[in-house]
Amino acid sequence: MGTNVQSSSIPAGAEGGQPPLGIITSIVSHRIATEGSSTPNTDAERGTSVLRRFMLQSGARDLLPRERVATCLRIPHAQQIDIWHAPETQSAHFGGLIVCGSIWQCPACAAKVSERRREELTEAVKRWHAEPHSGNVILVTLTLRHHKNESLRALAESLREAWRQVKQGAGWKSFQENFGVVGLITALEITHGRSGWHPHLHALIFVQPGLQLGKFTFALKKRWLMALERLGADATWEHGCDVRAARSDIADYVAKWGREPKWTVAHELAKAVSKKGRDNGQTPLDLLNAYVQNNDQQAGALLRIYAITMSV
């Protein structure tokens, strides 16, 4: 948290034996949500973002009372609860509490994990481009055809298995040698829209200099569609495998990875979330936000399906 870290403590218990953290964050979060700030600034926006995570986490606990998120940051494992604050970064966290660590269920834990991953992606791309005679980083997005009533579990399993098959056997070894593939990093993303669940895989593929992008794209698309066909799934040639090599595209993807939508004083995101869902698909964070802010029970049910399915 930096060199100048300040700490304060509160007792690890309250009347009735309930940890006080939930009460504290609920009160402050409600104040932020109802009053807002007339003079927003970077520090205020950062603080509001953190409090927003606790608001969303409370919603996740309502939807998932038997899952790990229900006890995250609510049960102490020490005699006191510490509040650590780093003034130079204007960041803070609680100590002495059990955390769930779930990226699928918990907005608070997911924010920490995704930020660490973003930093790792940034460093990996930076180091590769800093290498003498470095090659390119290719951004690949993979998906499959999906229908409204298909289960998330079936779609996610097909996507993961198809990618596993793409990367196995002599064919993949030959692909790596032909195109100078030296490494890759993948991330799974899920949205929900008019056509139901839409899972897609993002892959950053690090390649040596001299890549012929057209041949690379053709060969990877062919391997992807063949893998889907073996599983009884399919995708279009145009949209099943998207390949981008521009540094601006890579930088934009890395910069946005795991970033939360902006939380404005007027909470415009909450007002527009249902429209966004109809038009472009909602992320799990959008679904949870719709449930918390608008009492959208359908969004809550979808979030429950997502959280339980992806946590298995």
Last residue in a domain, options 256, 276, 296: 256
pLDDT at position 1 is: 38
Q: Report pLDDT digits (tens) over 59-73.
A: 999 999 999 999 998
Mark whether 199 and 110 lie in a shared domain: no
For strands 241-244 and 181-193, give the pairing: unpaired
Report the pLDDT averaged over residues 160-184.
97
Report the pLDDT averaged over residues 129-150.
91
Residue 304 has pLDDT above 90, yes or no: yes
pLDDT at position 190 is: 94
Mark whether 140 and 252 lie in a shared domain: yes
Helix (H) or strand (E) holding 35: helix 21-35
Q: Report pLDDT digits (tens) over 230-275.
A: 999 999 999 999 999 999 999 888 888 766 655 443 333 333 333 3
Query: How many angstroms separate the CA atoms of 88 and 153, rounded?
Result: 43
Number of domains present in the structure of the chain: 2
Q: What is the DSSP code string of 140-155?
A: EEEE----TT--HHHH
Mark whether 204 and 271 lie in a shared domain: no
Query: How many angstroms separate the CA atoms of 89 and 181, rounded?
Result: 38
Task: Determine, yes or no, domain membership for 124.
Answer: no
CA neighbours closer than 13 Å in the CB half-sphere of residue 254 = 20
Task: Determine, yes or no, domain membership for 156.
Answer: yes
Check: pTM over 0.85? Answer yes or no: no
Q: Shortest CA distance to 128 belongs to which of 203, 187, 204?
A: 204
Query: How many angstroms separate the CA atoms of 303 and 297, rounded?
Result: 10
Query: How many angstroms separate the CA atoms of 131 and 115, rounded?
Result: 25
Q: Please report, for residues 4, 40, 147, 150, the alpha-carbon distance to residue 278 in angstroms, rounded to integers and kept in the order given.
A: 47, 30, 15, 18
